[in-house]
Structure 1
Amino acid sequence: MCNSANCSHFPPRPAKQELEKGAVLSPKFDSDGLIAAAVTDFDTGDLLMVGYMNAEALQRTIDSGEAWYWSRSRQEYWKKGGTSGQVQNVIEMRTDCDQDAIWLRVRVAGNGATCHVGYNSCFYRKIEKDATGNTILTFAEAAPVYDPEEVYGKK
């Protein structure tokens, strides 16, 4: 994996002014060679997920127009929707001012869901306080869009 000091996919990081105002993509990967990617629905603006990309996953996403990530738990590349059909077609890609985060604006194929547990968004629960002041999770989405066992099988 590349890190911010050594990455063959992208040029070395320029001086601050060029980095912030220039036209050269020079992402800042963390010490593990990863960059965070926030993913929103292009049409609704809903936050769907946050994933991580290494340089190869970022380059695959740029080249293919479909979202690729680096799985930290499995230590492998994964194309979102490769198994489920819920491919994230990238409509627009942005980076922030210091190029240490990526924002993907996507349209999701298949049933339009993103979360592997069946919900439209991975952010399907809200953090709230109940009447007694205890922190609880409540559901922001009424029900899953699909049954994960039908898509992925029993795990």
Structure 2
Amino acid sequence: MKQRATVVCRVGTRILLVGKANSRWSLPGGKPEVGESFEAAALRELIEETRLHAIGMQYLFAFVGTRTCHHVFAAHIDERHSPVPSNEITRCTWAKVTDISDLDTSVSTRGIVDVLALNRRYDPREQSRHQRADAFVQNLREALHDVGLNGWTPAL
């Protein structure tokens, strides 16, 4: 099974998606180089694909897709900086969490967003778009202890 470092960047209720020419949208990330940690790969891939530098990085969970195990990290970025497509990436966008299911995204990207948008108080099949977006933000905040970067690993 392939191993991949995958990065979630959030601004409000929007997340960063990247795309190669003629491909689906996905979360930034890629394969670690020989001897490279997943965290280092996540940081490197974020810079290579978007030119964004993470202020901090936090491991969230592993998401196992059909052929790839995604080691998912949340990156804290300076919201004043905009992503710039770089290397093999030809486009970047900030997409609303609630629009992910309507976009042409990879199956794993939809799955990772679905995991982060789960709200234990509601049946996922009956969640409103607002509840889904709110759950996504709250789950990331809880996972990251999003208060003054407490809980964040400083970027390497």
In the superposition, the TM-score normalised over structure 2's length comes to 0.35
Answer 1 or 2: which has greater helix percent: 2
Q: Which is greater in Rg?
A: 1
Which structure carries more relative contact order (alpha carbon 8 Å, separation 6+)?
2
